């Protein structure tokens, strides 16, 4: 692929970037539109995969975040399976928090991009003082109905005084942010001296990404703006003086993501070996950081 010296990587600012592919507007396995194609580049310095050529303004968010793709309605046995997997995922997230939060007693937690508040609702209010940030109007209202303390605020520009937190979580929010350096700088402002930041995000060096390319389940063009592998994430943490304490993959988070990333032929060939392939593919990674 041709190197374009005029384009800067949004993570490390290197101009050593290569045009990787063009992608349709997608959400998971679903193609939302074939009218546009979005260009992704790979930084040769930090290996971040990023979208280029779009202005991230009000029109962008109105156009590409107005669909109902994030609201999955299932019934019967599929609903029960979904609830089981969701609870399993929440339990894993809670385990991360309990393993790294050093403070004893009640913890103050901020969930950035909390959605409808499902994760915050899962947490025991006797153990956690729960606060959420959510920009989507419908999700915000849904979280408020659960009697949660949720604010319709952007972490990048927020001026409200909300104090500092023992734990800050971002579950699949980072990939939606055009300026991750500013995001990490803001997160540090709201983190207590002994607090932890926990971030889950797709892994751009996963099997699904390498084999599926523009069909990768987690590409989600053009909503996923920057996608990291461990090298890119470490670069981001180092530039903002945050220390990575742990990184781990959870095969239950998106159980079929690798399957849907593959071509129609390869996805069925892999079925007999899928649990093993999924365990090694590391489609998403959860990082724990301290300042």
Q: Which residues contact 91 (CB under 8 A, 6 or more apart)?
A: none
Structure confidence at residue 195 (pLDDT): 95
pLDDT per residue, tens digit, the chain (291 aa), is 555 568 999 999 999 999 999 999 999 999 999 999 999 999 999 999 999 999 999 999 999 988 665 455 555 676 777 788 888 889 999 998 998 987 788 999 999 999 999 999 999 999 999 999 999 999 999 999 999 999 999 999 998 889 999 999 999 999 999 999 999 999 999 999 999 999 999 999 999 999 999 999 999 999 999 999 999 999 999 999 999 999 999 888 899 999 999 988 889 999 999 999 999 999 999 999 998
Q: What is the dihedral of CA 101, 257, 18, 186, to 10 degrees?
A: -30
Q: Parallel, antiparallel, or unpaired: how do β-strands 165-171 and 17-27 relate?
A: unpaired
Residue ranges of domains in the chain: 17-290
256: buried, middle or exposed (CB in 10 Å: 19+, 13-18, 0-12)?
Answer: middle
Chosen CATH of 17-290 out of 3.30.420.40, 2.40.10.10, 3.40.50.150, 1.10.10.10: 3.40.50.150
Residue where the block lists tokens 């742990």: 246
Structure confidence at residue 6 (pLDDT): 84
Q: Alpha-carbon torsion 72, 75, 77, 80, what sign?
A: positive
Integer Cα distance of 98 and 111 in angstroms:
15
Structure confidence at residue 75 (pLDDT): 58
DSSP 55-82: --SHHHHHHHS-SSTT-----HHHHHHH
Mark 67-100 as b/e (b = at least 16 C-beta within 10 Å). eeeeeeeeeeeeeeeeeeeeeebbebbbebbeeb
Tell me if 125 sits within 8 A of 151, measured CB to CB.
no
pTM: 0.93
- From the list 72, 162, 67, the residue with the least C-alpha distance to 111 is 162
Structure confidence at residue 4 (pLDDT): 59
């Amino acid at each position: 692929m041709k190197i374009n010296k005029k384009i800067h990587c949004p993570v490390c600012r290197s101009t050593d970037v290569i045009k990787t592919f063009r992608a349709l507007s997608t959400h998971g396995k679903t193609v939302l539109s074939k009218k546009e194609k979005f260009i992704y580049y790979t930084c040769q310095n930090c290996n971040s995969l990023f979208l280029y050529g779009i202005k991230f303004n009000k029109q962008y968010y109105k156009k590409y975040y107005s669909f109902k793709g994030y609201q999955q309605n299932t019934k019967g046995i599929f609903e029960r399976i979904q609830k089981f997997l969701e609870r399993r995922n929440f339990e894993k997230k809670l385990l991360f928090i309990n393993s790294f939060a050093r403070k004893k007693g009640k913890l103050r937690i901020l969930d950035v991009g909390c959605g409808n508040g499902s994760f915050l609702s899962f947490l025991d209010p006797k153990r956690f003082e729960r606060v959420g940030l959510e920009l989507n109007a419908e999700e915000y209202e849904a979280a408020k109905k659960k009697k949660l303390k949720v604010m319709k605020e952007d972490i990048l520009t927020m001026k409200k005084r909300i104090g500092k937190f023992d734990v800050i979580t971002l579950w699949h929010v980072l990939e939606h942010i055009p300026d991750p350096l500013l995001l990490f700088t803001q997160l540090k402002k709201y983190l207590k001296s002994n607090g932890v930041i926990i971030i889950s995000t797709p892994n751009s060096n996963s099997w699904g990404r390498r084999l599926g390319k523009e069909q990768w389940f987690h590409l989600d063009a053009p909503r996923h703006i920057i996608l990291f592998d461990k090298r890119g994430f470490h670069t981001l943490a180092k530039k903002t003086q945050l220390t990575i304490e742990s990184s781990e993959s959870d095969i239950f988070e998106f159980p079929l993501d690798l399957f849907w990333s593959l071509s129609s032929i390869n996805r069925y060939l892999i079925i007999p070996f899928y649990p093993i392939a999924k365990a090694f593919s590391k489609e998403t990674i959860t990082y724990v950081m301290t300042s």
